[in-house]
Amino acid sequence: MQTTFPQLLLTHAAQRPSAPAMREKEYGIWQTISWQDMATMVAHMACGLHQAGLKRGEHMVVVGSNRPRLYATVLAAQSLGAIPIPLYQDAAAAECVFPMTNAEVRLCVVEDQEQVDKMLEVREAYASLERIYFDDPRGLRKYDEPGLGSVDELLAAGEVFAKQHPNFYKEQVEMGSKDDVAAMFFTSGTTGNPKGVVHTHGTLIDRAQAGAEFDHLTSNEDVLAYLPPAWIGQNIFSYAQWLVAGYVVNCPESSATVMIDLKEIGPTYYFAPPRVFEGMLTSVSIRMEDASSLKRNLYKYFMSLAMKVGPKRMDGESIGLFNSLMYALGNLLVYGPLRNNLGFSRVRVAYTAGEAIGPDLFSFYRSIGVNLKQLYGSTETAVFVCLQPDNQARADTVGVPCRGVEIKVADNGEILVKSPGLLKGYYKNPEATAEVLTADGWYHTSDAGFLDSHGHLKIIDRVKDVGRIKGGSNDGAMFAPKYVENKLKFFPHIKEVVAYGDQREKVCVMINIDFDAVGNWAERRNLPYAGYADLAQKPEVYELIRECVEQVNADLAEDTLLAGSQVSRFLVLHKELDADDGELTRTNKVRRGFIAEKYLPLVDALYGGLATQYIETVVKFEDGRTGSVSATLHISDAKTFVPVKAAA
């Protein structure tokens, strides 16, 4: 029985050696790697790493985007009983120092010159980093650093060793068991140093199998691997399930070509966080604004029909003969071409996770025939806790518990989970482990929610973020910031939102406009602007955003539970929130507490009734330099509505 990832690899190579395992786009051409090719590469890489001194139980770091030779590196490390640690390729050097120090890393394999430069900078603060191997040699010809070498050299040395010791690799793989540590994933560290989440082969493979069984995944699926491998969501979909189901993983040429590559591959199984789906919808909205009046009216009519009957149709409900005929016409004229343009013409199952998705955004994709569903999980649970069945996808739930999962709700509303996919623990942090894992095996998710009458899990927000309005006409009303933020982010002109209101008498928000969408909107109105900060403060832009805010308020007024969360005041920030500035995590979640401290004068101005507020902000550029941006921001009031229940 195959109980480790390298054992799964060897099984695929033995059973279907010539079948495609991965594809990589290079110089515009897709190159295919068979399962046998991959197994041979992994064997040579493992022998090379063994000669480089990698030992069983030792940690090693892998940094880069999705590349077959980096996937092979992870498999090679696991074959030797070592523990790979993927780190975010866009993380600054300073962010890598703690994980590498914490895990006592001596050896790393990185993608290219950018990552080599980063590791050399890390070595200035962490001298124990002995060896740095790179996959892409471009720009590195004249580097002369101790311990620096290429993956080509590793593979060549490994090939020689494998010929001299033909049984070495298979013997190493056979020594592995499901209880061995397979990988360590570091959390984003929003409240301190990141924590190393330790997972075994058993936990990761079990959850990958549970997800594959749920959606009937086979070796015929095509997946596009374009998200950071350091994120466990990407790791599960393009690594763990790849080896469990044996489907094909496709690696884009670069981040700039992802949308082109998506259309070329036409994946059947697709995964993305809400931000990616938001970006796609924004690009569609921009294109439709530039289209002819005939096309705009056609799009508007058929999208109105789709939003009304499309989700019901996806759930297998009857929509009537007339609607069926009109939907078929809409599919011919609008929905089909739109799916094709997005790269979703072959998608059988699409998932979103990482954070809650706006209900309108969710409905948009299902209305045009994309089987978009939500799942619930985390790094600590190896992703799969709850999944939505095909005919039971709802915007306000995250599905039903999948195989092996138990859920209960604590007295404070926190979701507790018991699952075969739970972390082994946090590395070198027994105190943090004890905080999230009970003695009888329950994991504290820190999420607030409940199971509805149909057995579906509903997540309201993070337990620590769910608050109450204090004072005023909404005294005691529930405040769920993420819910408000997601409703606003559905609008194509709004990219990011940070909402405040807990223990205050009203809700106020800070907004990032989507520069491309609003810039396009401004250009069509001959509205000149000199850059992001200038565009963000235009009175016309404030009026545009006010309409979005007030539309959300009108929607919230119809929700008796969250009517008190209507937005009273807002401002548009002078800069985009950025992970490099500490305002977002590397998975693009807002760090609400950090932002509140950094922009305290703005928060005070929102609640103090001021009409303007000057702010100066330190920013970090891509080359590591720092600078500052300053602006006087306008603050606007928004109309709120009497809750429907109260009005009745």
Is the same domain home to 213 and 152? Answer: yes
Q: What mean pLDDT do residues 232-244 have?
A: 96
Residues 562 and 633: their CA atoms lie apart, in Å, by 29
Residues 603 and 367: their CA atoms lie apart, in Å, by 38
More confident residue, 491 or 224: 224
Is the same domain home to 455 and 494? Answer: no
Percentage of the chain surpassing pLDDT 90? 77
**Total domain count for the chain?**
3
Query: Residue 207: phi, psi to the nearest 5?
Result: -70, -35
pLDDT at 648: 39
pLDDT at 643: 87
Is the same domain home to 472 and 450? Answer: no
Q: Decide: 142 and 113 in contact? Cβ < 8 Å.
A: no
pLDDT at 645: 55
Residue 646 has pLDDT above 70, yes or no: no
What CATH code is carried by the domain that includes residue 291? 3.40.50.12780
What confidence tens digit (pLDDT) does each residue in 377-430 have? 999 999 999 999 998 998 878 999 999 999 999 988 899 999 999 999 999 999
Least confident of 359-363, 439-443, 593-597: 359-363
Last residue of a domain, one of 258, 286, 303: 258
- Record the tokens describing residue 458, joined without a space: 């509903």
pTM assigned to the model: 0.81
pLDDT at 615: 94
| Residue closest to 492 by CA, chosen among 304, 184, 284 | 284
Is the same domain home to 166 and 87? Answer: yes
Residues 219 and 244: their CA atoms lie apart, in Å, by 9
Is the same domain home to 456 and 547? Answer: no
Q: Are strands 612-620 and 148-150 parallel, antiparallel or unpaired?
A: unpaired
In a domain, 114, yes or no: yes
Is the same domain home to 253 and 299? Answer: no
Residue 277 CB coordination number (10 Å): 22
In a domain, 421, yes or no: no
Residue 337 CB coordination number (10 Å): 12
Residue 186 has pLDDT above 50, yes or no: yes
Amino acid of residue 461: D
In a domain, 19, yes or no: yes
More confident residue, 472 or 432: 432
What confidence tens digit (pLDDT) does each residue in 315-368 have? 889 999 999 999 999 999 999 999 999 999 999 999 998 777 777 789 999 999
Residue 61 CB coordination number (10 Å): 26
pLDDT at 191: 60
Residues 196 and 96: their CA atoms lie apart, in Å, by 12
Instruction: With cut-offs at 50, 70 and 90, classify the pLDDT of residue 587.
Output: confident
What confidence tens digit (pLDDT) does each residue in 121-166 have? 999 999 999 999 999 999 998 899 999 999 999 999 999 999 999 9
Q: What mean pLDDT do residues 253-260 have?
A: 91
What confidence tens digit (pLDDT) does each residue in 493-532 have? 999 999 999 999 999 999 999 999 999 999 999 999 999 9
Residues 244 and 204: their CA atoms lie apart, in Å, by 10
Residues 521 and 538: their CA atoms lie apart, in Å, by 12
Is the same domain home to 307 and 234? Answer: no
In a domain, 374, yes or no: yes
Residue 55 has pLDDT above 50, yes or no: yes
What CATH code is carried by the domain that includes residue 499? 3.30.300.30
Percentage of the chain surpassing pLDDT 70? 98
More confident residue, 191 or 389: 389
Residues 115 and 87: their CA atoms lie apart, in Å, by 11
Amino acid of residue 241: Q
In a domain, 237, yes or no: yes
Residue 1 has pLDDT above 80, yes or no: no
Q: What mean pLDDT do residues 266-292 have?
A: 90
pLDDT at 610: 96
Full residue range of the structural domain in which residue 67 is found: 5-179+204-258
Residues 583 and 593: their CA atoms lie apart, in Å, by 9
Cα 71 from chain centre: 19
pLDDT at 189: 67
What confidence tens digit (pLDDT) does each residue in 542-558 have? 999 999 999 999 988 98
Side by side, the strands of the sheet bearing 443-451 are: 406-409, 414-418, 443-451, 457-462
Is the same domain home to 458 and 499? Answer: no
Distances in whole angstroms, Cα of residue 505 to Cα of each of 464, 472, 595, 634: 18, 5, 20, 21
Is the same domain home to 405 and 538? Answer: no
In a domain, 197, yes or no: no
DSSP secondary structure string for all residues of 227-289: S-TTSHHHHIIIIIHHHHH--EEEE-S-GGGHHHHHHHH--SEEEE-HHHHHHHHHHHHHHHH
Is the same domain home to 156 and 305? Answer: no
Residue 78 has pLDDT above 70, yes or no: yes
- Mean per-residue pLDDT over the chain, rounded: 93
In a domain, 628, yes or no: yes
Least confident of 312-326, 426-440, 463-477: 463-477
In a domain, 267, yes or no: no
Is the same domain home to 455 and 475? Answer: no
Is the same domain home to 227 and 339? Answer: no
Instruction: With cut-offs at 50, 70 and 90, classify the pLDDT of residue 252.
Output: very high
Q: What mean pLDDT do residues 87-112 have?
A: 96
